[in-house]
Structure 1
């Protein structure tokens, strides 16, 4: 039983192939879709924005973000993911947007973002920050690439996250308390850091907002 829990934990942080990987991917799609959609909506994406999602998983959030981008304007969507399996799945899902040049997917980690300073107008991530090896360094990198006047949002299913940690099904979820993440954002220089408890139909979830002046 412990080996199964370890496998689930490992795939939650870094989804890959195999039976447990398949199971975790189904869970990600089922439990994260509304969070991805709400994050993209709450960002207030404009047709000309450059939008980044960190840890995009199967690509649902990227798909929602692309709906707000004008195909004829300079707006673009960028995705960063450390799992090659998730990049494969998202590429298959969104291949037309990649071919059109509106979407760019990159293998990498948040602590070393491969983007220039002030290059993104909007950033979002979903059920993600607690997997970063260095929370402060990740926040610093996000602050670096966000342009002045830009906004960032994270959404998460805190109840499910807390339960999965308590059941030893998510042992790599470090610092999952939102307060630790928010304090790191403020220390990094983000302003307007706040958490709101929102609803999507019968689902309630916290959303954390941050800006760069």
Structure 2
């Protein structure tokens, strides 16, 4: 998402749900375009060796490999709603999957197939534009986080006028930073914001509140 050419409708559709040969090409491009921002989110989350980490919208799976390096005693799970992306991510991470260090799961964010409080960290980079209901999705993320667990949510906001002009509004929705922060607070998360999203993607860090006795 670093180039500001207007995205054709069919390219945007494949970014939302990749399939076929074009989807494979887009996966390759995205693996390079989004890598710096994925590293930014990982660094901010402070992945620890024993962490259980969830990457929502894992796409091509390049980040899963790096997360496994950072959490060698933990476990990494990637989810994506695209069957093609799940296949690509699984192929890329085959040795780690066979070693039971990584899993890749076909799933949407609004109904995650995991028990409550399973993950220490959740990463979500450049995917909330496609969510049907942002608050429902954030509640699911909060549900699968452990108390005290952290979410790193990276996205371009509606303050980024170049992004708004470059992506079809029928497919991409760029929310306000305040909207996301308020929704996170309502799901029981304490919010810390890094960057306002005007010049580069906003990075919102949120910590799940511990239950009061």
Instruction: Rate the CA distance shift 1:204–1:166 in 2: closer, same or farther, 3 A.
Output: closer
Instruction: Determine helix, strand or coil for the equivalent of 1:67.
Output: helix
Note the C-alpha offset of 1:180. 2.1
3-state SS of 1:12 partner: helix
TM-score (norm 1): 0.85
Whole-angstrom distance in 2 between the partners of 1:7 and 1:118: 37
After TM superposition, the score normalised by the length of structure 2 is: 0.85
**Which structure 2 segments of 5+ residues have no match?**
1-6
Q: Work out the CA distance in 2 between the residues paired with 1:139 and 1:37.
A: 22
* Residue matched to 2:37: 35
Deviation of 1:157 after TM superposition, in Å, equals 5.1
Which whole-Å CA distance do the structure 2 matches of 1:171 and 1:24 have between them? 19
Q: Is the Cα–Cα contact under 8 Å of residues 54 and 81 in structure 1 kept in the other structure?
A: yes
> In the alignment, does 2:186 pair up with 1:187?
yes
Q: What displacement does 1:170 show?
A: 5.7
Which ranges of structure 1 fall in alignment gaps of 5 or more residues? none
Residue 195 of structure 2 aligns to a residue in which SS?
Answer: strand
Aligned counterparts of 1:80 and 1:196: Cα–Cα separation in 2: 25
Q: Is residue 96 of structure 2 the alignment partner of residue 104 of structure 1?
A: no
1:19-54 deviation per Cα after TM superposition (whole angstroms, max 9, x unaligned): 3x3443243122201111221222111111110010
Distance 1:149 1:164 in 2: 33
* Other structure's SS at 1:97 match: helix
Instruction: Tell me how large the CA RMSD over aligned residues is.
Output: 2.3
Once the two structures are superposed, residues 170-189 of structure 1 have per-residue CA deviations (whole angstroms, 9 ceiling, x without a partner) of 63122433332222111111
Shift of 1:9: 1.7
Equivalent residue of 1:11, what SS? helix
Q: Distance in 2 between matches of 1:205 and 1:140?
A: 22
8 A Cα contact 2:150 2:207, kept in partner: yes
Equivalents in 1 of 2:11, 2:178: separation in Å?
26
